[in-house]
Structure 1
Amino acid sequence: MPSPDLIVFSALVFVLAGLVKGVLGFGLPTVVVALLALALPPTQALALLVVPSFATNLAQGAVGGHFVALCRRLWPMGLGIVLGTLVGGRLTAALFGPEAATATRTGLGIALVVYGMSGLLGRPPTLPGRLERLLAGPAGLVSGVMTAACGVFVFPLAPFLQSLGLSRAALSQALGIAFTLATVALAGNLLDGDRLSGRDLLWSVAGLVPALAGMALGMRLRDRMQPAIFSAVFLLGLAGLGLHLALA
């Protein structure tokens, strides 16, 4: 059994991670792994992440009032995410070897920093309807491959969704739907490779309630923000995540 101090620390980490996810729509895995790795082995920190990540993604995708409309609009992206995640891990490992994950994470980090900072300095690009339909599937496919290769869900998914001009609630819900699909497909990969045990899942349940509580608080905070402030916070979050990936 973990010590009482470790239990309290883990709960506070998941509250903070849920708060970040509630505001930005992403970031829970980064916060959890970065902070829990201070007290636990990285593999155990990752194991603790599985259930809270899936549950918060599912809750985020279900809340907002746009579920049916987003599924109808973005189903090619969702299909691409599932296909890319299922085949991406094996494909990148076969082509580039075991160093693929590290190189991919660094490249993604740099790309996110560039995108986030360029958006803060100018206006984020907006896709017309014709390009949206053309790019939805490829954006999902590439995001799925990146998810399988290095466990990062947000690129090019988050920039693509932001370019659609969605409201704060719809953007958060669209990210939740996409992340849920990616999490399920990634869990399938892990189970297929015998890299996820029942003991890991049971230990992971411990972070569920604090993560959901933190996310609910974060979503309240997000809804109180002015659109311009939310856009700036969203872009700063992407740039901060990118910096973490590039330097980790």
Structure 2
Amino acid sequence: MIDLSPTLIAAIAATFFAAGVVKGVTGMGLPTVAMGVLGALLSPLAAAGLLLVPSFVTNVWQLLAGPGFGPLARRLWPMMAAIVAGTALGAAWLASGDTGPTTTALGCALVAYAAFTLLARQLAVPPRIEPWLSPLIGGATGLVTGGTGVFVIPAVPYLQALGLAKDDLIQVLGLSFTVSTLALAAGLGARGAFSPETLGASAAAVVPALAGMWAGQKMRALISPQAFRRWFLVGLLLLGLEMAIRPLL
């Protein structure tokens, strides 16, 4: 259970507004920003509980916005099924409440995502290996999701490497994040790892998250999304480094 003081409520609202802005400008990043910032204020388990409803609402919105849901779902259902299975296994670690290792793991996941996105060249997955690689990537993503609450590694680099059209990529990212959110909620809920109060606070966080998305979409026309995304990733990298070493200090 989270002790929701006025200061913490304000911090949670500001975090989800900022995370919504990032998603509005770049098309992704809300769960990653929310877990990174809230994980610095709360335990990763509490942060993951707060993330569930805003992540679900914003990603379903993204999922339903594109035209190609059926073909994408048929193509990538083995990956989505593996995400569910991996998350179910990984959630046992996050639900254990052992904050030191989970904070370090969350920090490492943030560092890995930010560093890869900043430094790596665009990859390409040959169609012949996709049938067996997709479930492996899905399982690995599920384990990371269940253990840290972060949905992006290695799913996002992999999906970007499939050569999808822009609208299809945005939609399939929404599909992956929606499946990950539902699987994480089921995994944590099955272990009694969050309370009705946490879910109520998570539902309330939808308002600042959507307000941030709206503001981010307006900002997109005024700033360079590439420059914004680069500085966002640098900040995420520094935050992840701090979280990774914090339990060691």
TM-score, structure 2 normalization:
0.77
Residues 35 and 237 from structure 1, CA distance in 2 versus in 1: closer, same or farther, beyond 3 angstroms?
A: closer
How do residues 131-142 of structure 1 correspond to structure 2 at under 5 angstroms?
Answer: 131-142=129-140
Q: CA 1:46 to 1:71, structure 2 compared with 1: closer, same or farther past 3 Å?
A: closer
For each residue in 1:118-177, what CA deviation from the matched residue of structure 2 results, as whole angstroms up to 9, or x when unmatched? 33xxx4111221123331111111000111112111100010011112233322221111
Structure 1 match to 2:190: 192
2:170 is aligned with 1:172: yes
Q: Give the direction of change, closer, same or farther, for the CA distance of 1:93–1:11 in structure 2 (3 Å limit).
A: closer
The counterpart of 1:73, out of the listed 68, 72, 75, is: 75
Kindly, what percent of the aligned residue pairs are identical?
Answer: 39
Measured after TM superposition, the shift of residue 74 of structure 1 is 1.3
Whole-angstrom distance in 1 between the partners of 2:128 and 2:68: 21
Relative distance call for 1:82 and 1:46 in structure 2 (3 A) is closer
Equivalent pair of 2:50/2:202 in contact (CA under 8 Å):
yes
Kindly indicate whether the alpha-carbon contact (under 8 Å) linking 2:59 and 2:174 is maintained by their aligned counterparts in 1: yes
Residue 236 to residue 170, structure 1, CA distance change in 2 (3 Å): farther
What is the match of residue 63 of structure 1?
A: 65
Where structure 2 has 5 or more consecutive residues not aligned to the other structure, the ranges are 244-249
2:63 and 2:186 map into 1 onto residues whose CA distance is 20
* Native 8 Å contact 1:56 1:212 kept in 2: yes
Task: Report what 2:241 is aligned to.
Answer: 246
* Runs of at least 5 residues in structure 1 that lack an aligned partner in the other structure: none
Distance in 2, Cα, partners of 1:16 & 1:177: 22
Cα distance in 1, alignment partners of residues 72 and 205 from structure 2: 29
Partners of 2:32 and 2:110 within 8 A in 1? no
| TM-score of the two chains, using structure 1 as the length reference | 0.77
Deviation at 1:82, TM superposition (A): 0.6
Instruction: Report the equivalent of 2:246.
Output: none
Residue type matched to 1:79 in 2?
A: A
Partner secondary structure for residue 245 of structure 1: helix
Q: Deviation of residue 22 (structure 1)?
A: 2.9
